[in-house]
Structures are given as structure tokens and as C-alpha cells.
């Protein structure tokens, strides 16, 4: 079966672009492409210890089993087969249950999954445990320098989104800096914000953009009693008065980041 499946995959060039969300929080962008002989798996993490870039390239004919994500890009047939986990290169068992009208269900390495496909049998979304992948567009070639590192250039002054994004809101009061002097930095905002939630059930995690020195960056902070707290900035740091913060609905923030970097959404003067 693996050889037959590899032959079928090699005959069908495909591409996909997805946002990974864990417990509703956007974590990474995944891009996969195959020209029928070569398969490329690329991932960019949004907000975790600075953006981590991952890239693997495979010659399909040399693999012991089809790559896992590539196998799931098109609606799989019922039954069990071995697949190759791209990051670890470990062989896992993918089992697909009988045909369903609205969803494809089964297990990957023993973990339950639910996937949905469009009318052309292309993967729209898949949920495995607390993690969900959602298709956002066809795959694109990533820039030489990650936009999560360099940000997006914007004009100085008051800004607005074009087109408007439902649920997005600008902070009208600068956050309080609550970071410790030995652990600061915008690139570590998600790690520090998650840590700031520990032992504080009244707090919630917020994600969005921070605009500073003419550039907009993905950012995370916490909110307590309607007051924003930024654990990546020290108390009293004047940078907080020079920044603008835009909070986004967590459920849409991953897709928003990609649209912003692609130019489909812009920050323009008010």
C-alpha cells in the first residue's frame, strides 16, 4: 500500500497553506508543496521565543512511506496505512474510518482526528486533540526574512484597518509594563504572557499587533479587569507611551497575520 500511495502522490502536484491553532491560539503557519517528485514542508511559528523557521525537503521516491500532511491534503480513502511524520521522520499509522458525508474521522498514531474537505476533496481543516489546522490559501514562497521578525512597515500616527476586521479594537490606554529586568523582549511576548497567567485566573491572554517605530509586529499580552499588562516590557518603560496596541479576536488572528503580510489587509492613516 505505501508504494501505491507514493505513486499516486507523485502523479499529483499539490500545495497547501494552513494556520495551526492550539486551544484557539494561532501558533504557526504551515506551507506544503509537491511537484510530483519533490515535497517541501515549511513552518513558521508566530509568537514563540521569536519566529522559528522549519524547512524539510524530501524526494518522494526515496521515502519508506508517504508524508503525513501530504497524505491528508486530499481526502484519503478508508483503511489504515503507514505515513511518515515530517518533523521526526518517524513512521506512524494513519487509520481512516468509513466514509462520512460531512467529515473524515480516524486516528493518527492513536490520536483521534476530524477533518473536513471541500467539493474538490482538498483539505479545509483538521483537528487532532487540542490542535487545529485551517486552510487559508494556496501555498506561497516565503520571503527571505520572516515578516514575524521584521514586521510590516506602517505610517506614523493614528491608524485603521482596511478593510475593517470585526472584533478588532485599539487600546486607548497604554498597557502597564510588568516584566522583570532579566526577562524582557518583544520576541518572547507569548512565553512571558503565558507565564503571567499562572496563578491568576482573573487574567486572560490577548493577541494582536504592536506598532512601534513605523512597524507593526504580532504581539501577545495579558488583560486583567480591562487593563492591559505587557510582561515583555519593564515597569515604567517609556516605550509603552510610543506604542499602539491592536487586539484581535484570537480565533481569527492567525489568518489575519497572513493576510497582513500578504497585503490583503492594510494599516492605513485614519
Q: Could you say which of 137, 171, 203 is where a domain stops? A: 137
How many Cβ atoms sit within 10 Å of the Cβ of residue 163?
10
| 126 within a domain of the structure (yes/no) | yes
pLDDT of residue 78: 92
pLDDT over threshold 60, residue 243: yes
Specify whether 95 is located in the same domain as 166. Answer: no
Specify whether 112 is located in the same domain as 153. Answer: no
**Tens digit of each residue's pLDDT (9 = 90 or more) over 148-176:** 667 889 998 999 999 999 999 999 999 99
Range of the domain at 261: 147-269
**Tens digit of each residue's pLDDT (9 = 90 or more) over 32-79:** 988 888 999 988 877 655 446 788 999 999 999 999 999 999 899 999
| 27 within a domain of the structure (yes/no) | yes
Question: Residue 194 belongs to what H/E stretch?
Answer: helix 189-197
Specify whether 14 is located in the same domain as 121. Answer: yes
Specify whether 115 is located in the same domain as 191. Answer: no
Q: Distance between CA atoms of 242 and 120, rounded to whole angstroms?
A: 49
**Tens digit of each residue's pLDDT (9 = 90 or more) over 3-33:** 333 334 444 567 888 888 876 677 788 889 8
The count of structural domains within the chain is 2
> What's the pTM?
0.68
Q: Could you say which of 137, 164, 184 is where a domain stops? A: 137
**Rounded (10°) CA dihedral 20, 207, 130, 65:** 20
Specify whether 132 is located in the same domain as 154. Answer: no
Question: Residue 212 belongs to what H/E stretch?
Answer: strand 203-212
Specify whether 121 is located in the same domain as 73. Answer: yes
Specify whether 23 is located in the same domain as 133. Answer: yes
| 2 within a domain of the structure (yes/no) | no
| 1 within a domain of the structure (yes/no) | no
Specify whether 203 is located in the same domain as 236. Answer: yes
Specify whether 70 is located in the same domain as 179. Answer: no
pLDDT category of residue 146 using cuts at 50, 70 and 90: low
Sign for the pseudo-dihedral over CA of 113, 116, 121, 122: negative
Amino acid at each position: 500500500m505505501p508504494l501505491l500511495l507514493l505513486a499516486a502522490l507523485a502523479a499529483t502536484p499539490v500545495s497547501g497553506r494552513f494556520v495551526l491553532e492550539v486551544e484557539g491560539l494561532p501558533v504557526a503557519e504551515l506551507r506544503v508543496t509537491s511537484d510530483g517528485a519533490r515535497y517541501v514542508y515549511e513552518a513558521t511559528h508566530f509568537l514563540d521565543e521569536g519566529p522559528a523557521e522549519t524547512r524539510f525537503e524530501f524526494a518522494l521516491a526515496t521515502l519508506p512511506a508517504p508524508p503525513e500532511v501530504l497524505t491528508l491534503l486530499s481526502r484519503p480513502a478508508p483503511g489504515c496505512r503507514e505515513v511518515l511524520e515530517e518533523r521526526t521522520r518517524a513512521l506512524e499509522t494513519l487509520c481512516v474510518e468509513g466514509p462520512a458525508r460531512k467529515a473524515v474521522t480516524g486516528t493518527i498514531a492513536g490520536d483521534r482526528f476530524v477533518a473536513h474537505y471541500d467539493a474538490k476533496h482538498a483539505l479545509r481543516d483538521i483537528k487532532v486533540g487540542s490542535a487545529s489546522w485551517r486552510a487559508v490559501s494556496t501555498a506561497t514562497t516565503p520571503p527571505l526574512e520572516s515578516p514575524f521578525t521584521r514586521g510590516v512597515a506602517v505610517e506614523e500616527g493614528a491608524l485603521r484597518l482596511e478593510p475593517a476586521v470585526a472584533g478588532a479594537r485599539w487600546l486607548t490606554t497604554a498597557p502597564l509594563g510588568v516584566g522583570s529586568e532579566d526577562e524582557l523582549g518583544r520576541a518572547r511576548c507569548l512565553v512571558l504572557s503565558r507565564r503571567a497567567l499562572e496563578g491568576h485566573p482573573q487574567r486572560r491572554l490577548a493577541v494582536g499587533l504592536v506598532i512601534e517605530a513605523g512597524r507593526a509586529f504580532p504581539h501577545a499580552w495579558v488583560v486583567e479587569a480591562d487593563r492591559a499588562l505587557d510582561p515583555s516590557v519593564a515597569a515604567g518603560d517609556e516605550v509603552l507611551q510610543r506604542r499602539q496596541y491592536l487586539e484581535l479576536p484570537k480565533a481569527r488572528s492567525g489568518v489575519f497575520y497572513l493576510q497582513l503580510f500578504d497585503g490583503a489587509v492594510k494599516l492605513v492613516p485614519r
